[in-house]
Each structure stands twice: as structure tokens, then as C-alpha cells.
Amino acid sequence: MWLLVRFARVMDGQGPGFHILPYEKTTLVYLDSTGNGARSAVAGVPLRSDDGLRRCKAVGRLEMTYGLQIGAQGKEEIEISRHGMGQGLLISAHRTMEAATLEKSWILRLVADGGYLVLRGFSPSIERFSALVRSVCSRTMLDPAREFSAGMTVQKVDIGTGEIGLHVEHGTNPLTPHLTWFFCRRAARKGSQTTVCDGYRVWDALSVETRRLFRSNDIAYSRNIEEAKWRALASYLLGGAKRDDEITVDDIVELAKAFGDGFQVKPNDDGSIYYVYRVPAAHATLFGTRLAFANSILGPSYHYEKPRITFADGTLLPGDVIAEIDSVSSALIEEIDWQDGDIAIIDNTRVMHGRRAVLDPERREIFVALGYVDSAMPPA
């Protein structure tokens, strides 16, 4: 893929490593199909050591992803710029193009760099959105408690109109997907933004004491799940190996063992089950070992009973610690102000998301897809 890269000046020593200033120079570079750096320059524009390339590589190649992708006819196709004040990226299509034609490795590298992407101008249908999800994710999951739509990949977001706190999708159970995808078929005219918050930045901004507390103590989510919902979940996990009316509580207890000691399930007398899920609040991500504070401590639960959240030994999280998490993460929130046809791809292992209050529920129509990426992908 050819990229016309408008190199920015790279300022070291500001924030976590470097800071990008507006475009300064322009050159053409070639990225191979795995997205691994520049191989050559063309059109008499040699890459010189002082044009930013070497320094960009030295600080982690992020800068290589900024610029305009040029199509076969030399027309500008895609522009990549920052979204918000953090690392998030806005990918704008300059002409009508299929989002599903974007290369998987290219998308994943951008997600690895930015934590989340907003794709604008691709204007896909639900079916094409679903095709994009399937082209990147090796496996997708549906939430059994949600309303199904459009085949087996995409579901409608249908949870009330109130504000929703920051959370990781399925962060309270071990099925946490790698990527959370949103497709906004119709945007609200006002309000209703999806909020995102980079767990890297939250972890770096928390106090030393709070980081020490979460480094030495896992958290635990515990709750009951009513019979109809755990049955649907068991059916999904069994993948058709057993008829729904043959599934028993022993099946879900047995399935839970696959997730190790961190996930304990017990049957209740009334047909429901009770589970405890133990997990670190800050952890490595899909793309690396750097710790991200990405969890559902602040998040609500609309489809299931609200979980009890404690440390692994059962003690409650101190009120002042929750207040600190709330204020630190609130200050780092970015808002996705949806436009019709927008897609967001969120690294669910790093970036939490939520929602402002929906002020235009008649118009707003957003779909969600959840997926896993096979671990064999090239590192970012």
C-alpha cells in the first residue's frame, strides 16, 4: 500500500513519550502488507534521515500511520488524523469505498496504536458492517440477553436512554471480547455521544497508592444469572453440541471450568446460578504488556443483575478509591459525536466505553458487534 505521509514534527519529552505537531513535510512511502514500516520512496522523493522517518521509527512507528492513502489513480482515499486529545484515530474516507476492503493487518495496527478508531465516510449497510467485522475478527460473539438482528454478527444497542458509565464490554465475565464494534446507522441530532477512555492513560494518571492497591489485589465480580439467561449462554458456548432443552445446570458448571480458577459457578435452588469472576483491574492488552486500567468498576449492567464488585478477598473497594477512579477517568473521556454511517472499533482490552444520555431516541440507531482476534496476528 502506498501512503502519502505528511510527516509531523515529533516532540520528545511531552506526555507519555512524544507529541505530534501538525503536518510539516510530505513524502511517499510504501508499507508492506503486514504494515511493517517504509521500504522505499518513489517519484524522486528520497527518504532522508532528517525528514522525520528515522525519528518516527525510533519512537514506535506511530507517525507512519498518519497521512493520506493514495489510490491507484493518485486520488486521495483515506485520511488518518487524531480523534480527541488522546491516541484515538479518525479514519476518513474521501470517496465512497467499502470498509470491508481495508486490510485486516492495517486496521489492527491502527487499533494497536490508537486504542480506538472512528471510521467516517464509508457509510456501510449493516450487512457490510458485519462483513468488515468478520474480515478482522476470527470469531464473533452475541450477547444472549440482547435483541438479535442482521444475521449472526450484529446486535442492536437497545439499553434505555440514560447515561452509561465507563465499562469494558462483558468485563464482568470471562467472555470479554477483544474488540467492541459500533455502527451508527442513524445519529442523534444532539447529545447521545458514545464515550471512550483509554485505560493506558487512566493507569498512568492514578495515584501511586491506588496503583499499588490494584497491582496487589485482583477484583471480583459476583452475581446471580437467571435460568433463561445462563441457558442461552450455555447454548452459545456449546455451539449446538446439545439441544437447548437438554442443557442442564451441570453443563454450565462444567463449561465454567474451562476458564480456570478465576471463574467459579454454583447452582442456586431456584434454577439460577451464582458466579464469582476474579480478574485484575489493570492488565496487559490484546497488543502488548503495558498495563491498561480497563474494567467495569464504574459500569452499569442493564441486561443482567448488577454485580457486586469487591477485591478478591471479598472486601469492598474503598469509597475514596472509587471516587479517584471516577474523577481521573472522567477527565480523560473522549466523546464520539456520531454521524450517520460512522463505525467505531474499540480495543476492549484497553479502552473503556460508555454513553452520554440519549436526547434523540427516535432517530438514534446504533448496532454493536463483539469479536475476538486470533493471537497469531503480527505484533503492532
Give the residue with the Cβ less far from Fe ion, 169 or 365. Answer: 169
Choices 12-20, 118-126, 169-177, 185-193; region in contact with Fe ion by CB under 5 A = 169-177
Sheet-wide strand order for 164-167 = 164-167, 351-355, 194-198, 334-336
Q: What CA–CA distance (Å, rounded) separates 48 from 62?
A: 18
Choices 161-169, 235-243, 311-319, 328-336; region in contact with Fe ion by CB under 5 A = 161-169
Closest chain position to Fe ion (CB)? 169
The residue with cell 525510533 is 58
Give the residue with the Cβ less far from Fe ion, 69 or 172. Answer: 172
Q: How far is the CB of 116 from Fe ion (least distance, A)?
A: 13
Residue 9 · residue 24 · CB < 8 Å: yes
Tell which positions 247-306 bind Fe ion, by CB under 5 A: none
Provide the β-strand partners of residue 186: 365
Q: What CA–CA distance (Å, rounded) separates 97 from 341?
A: 12
Give the residue with the Cβ less far from Fe ion, 146 or 290. Answer: 146
Q: How far is the CB of 167 from Fe ion (least distance, A)?
A: 6
Indicate the SS3 state at residue 117.
Answer: strand
Give the residue with the Cβ less far from Fe ion, 63 or 169. Answer: 169
Q: How far is the CB of 184 from Fe ion (least distance, A)?
A: 14
Q: How far is the CB of 228 from Fe ion (least distance, A)?
A: 21
- How many residues bind Fe ion, per CB under 5 A? 1
CB atoms within 10 A of CB 300: 14
Give the residue with the Cβ less far from Fe ion, 108 or 196. Answer: 196
Give the residue with the Cβ less far from Fe ion, 105 or 195. Answer: 195
Q: How far is the CB of 274 from Fe ion (least distance, A)?
A: 23
- Residue 140: its H or E element: strand 139-141
Q: How far is the CB of 102 from Fe ion (least distance, A)?
A: 24
The residue with cell 520528545 is 12
Pairs from 374-378 (Cβ < 8 Å, separation ≥ 24): 374/138, 374/139, 377/104, 377/105, 377/108, 378/34, 378/35, 378/36, 378/105
Tell which positions 194-253 bind Fe ion, by CB under 5 A: none
Q: How far is the CB of 98 from Fe ion (least distance, A)?
A: 27
Q: Which of 89, 83, 85 is nearest to 102 (CA)?
A: 89
- Residue 113: its H or E element: helix 104-114
Q: What are the grid coordinates assigned to 195, written together?
A: 464515550
Instruction: Give the largest Cα separation in the chain, rounded.
Output: 76
Give the residue with the Cβ less far from Fe ion, 20 or 175. Answer: 175
Helices (H) and strands (E) counted in the chain, each on its own, are: 8, 21
Give the residue with the Cβ less far from Fe ion, 67 or 371. Answer: 371
CB atoms within 10 A of CB 197: 26
Residue of 63, 169, 251, 347 that binds Fe ion (CB under 5 A):
169
**Binding of Fe ion at residue 143 (CB under 5 A)?**
no
Q: How far is the CB of 159 from Fe ion (least distance, A)?
A: 8
The residue with cell 474523577 is 327
Choices 141-149, 162-170, 171-179, 251-259; region in contact with Fe ion by CB under 5 A = 162-170
Q: Which residues bind Fe ion (CB under 5 A)?
A: 169
